[in-house]
Amino acid sequence: MTSRKHSQAPRGRIVRPTIFEVNQAFELIDQMVDQLIAGELEYACDNGVDMPVFRTRSGVEPMIPPLEGWIAVWQRFADGFGFELDQSALTTLINKLSSNEILRLSDVASVQLCVMQQRTIYRQLDVYRIRSYAVTEQIAIQLEQAA
């Protein structure tokens, strides 16, 4: 297996993410989707309110804030790269999780399809622009949280 250094790409050349980079970028969303497919939706109590969580290697994390961030960064990608992306399945998931509604198999299948489409698109994007948009979105989220 050969490694490539993104910093040595010729000017104007699009550098696509490696499979490792794709897997790394999708690791958390894949874990969430896998748990939804398996029907393993967990809840934790936070200040008397039950909230959906997912398991990571480091423990249990709330599910909704990362999903909101995922949708926001993908909207930034769509706007910046100029493509259309229907994320309504993810928005529906957030709405149902927020209101403790029952998820149907069709809801989970729609989420899975949406994430598969995102993965396909991601493989075609320039890693430099991906990183730029992702950092910009992280800054926007931090500014919003600070306000």
89: left (phi over 0), alpha (psi -120 to 50) or beta: alpha
pLDDT of residue 88: 97
Residues 6+ apart with CB under 8 A from 45: 51
Bridge partners of 53? 42, 62
pLDDT of residue 1: 46
pLDDT of residue 2: 46
Burial 22-54 (b: 16+ CB within 10 A, else e): eeebbebbeebbebbeeeebeeeeeeeeebbbb
* Section 80-90 average pLDDT: 95
Q: What is the pLDDT of residues 24-37, one digit of tens each?
A: 999 989 989 998 99
* Section 123-138 average pLDDT: 88
pLDDT of residue 11: 64
pLDDT of residue 10: 56
Say which amino acid occupies 69: G
Q: Cβ(90)–Cβ(33) under 8 Å?
A: no
User: pTM for this structure?
Assistant: 0.83
